[in-house]
Amino acid sequence: MQQQQPNNMTQPNGMMMKPPVMVTVKDSLYLTDMLSWNLLAMKKAHFFAQSAQDPAIKSQLEKCGQMHQHHYERILNHLNDSNQPMSQQPQ
């Protein structure tokens, strides 16, 4: 049985220091799912906030929608950063 070689890109806690050069199909599908989940949650929160009568509930739903929008944008920013050629990426 072969042992896996340690990956210099990961820390002992399993966190990656930098993203891999290539994304697998499975990873790509998961990223697409994450974007879809956050977009749907953002839309639903906005819809229900428009329908809410109680100002406290309306406010919480708006905050929830903003949180999902922030997550959606962060994922997109990470993906856009990784699409830059290596010479253009900040060091």
DSSP classification of residue 10: B
Per residue in 16-35, pLDDT tens?
787 777 888 998 899 999 99
Q: Is residue 61 part of a domain?
A: yes
User: Looking at the domain assignment, is residue 13 inside a domain?
Assistant: no
What is the pTM assigned to this prediction?
Answer: 0.67
Instruction: List C-alpha distances in Å: 32 to 4, 35, 58, 75, 88.
Output: 29, 5, 29, 10, 25
Report yes or no: 72 and 43 within 8 Å, Cβ to Cβ. no
Q: Which long-range contacts (CB under 8 A, 24 or more apart) does 21-24 make?
A: 23/82
Domains in the chain: how many in total?
1
Domain hosting residue 49, numbered range: 36-81
Tens digit of each residue's pLDDT (9 = 90 or more) over 34-74: 999 999 999 999 999 999 999 999 999 999 999 999 999 99
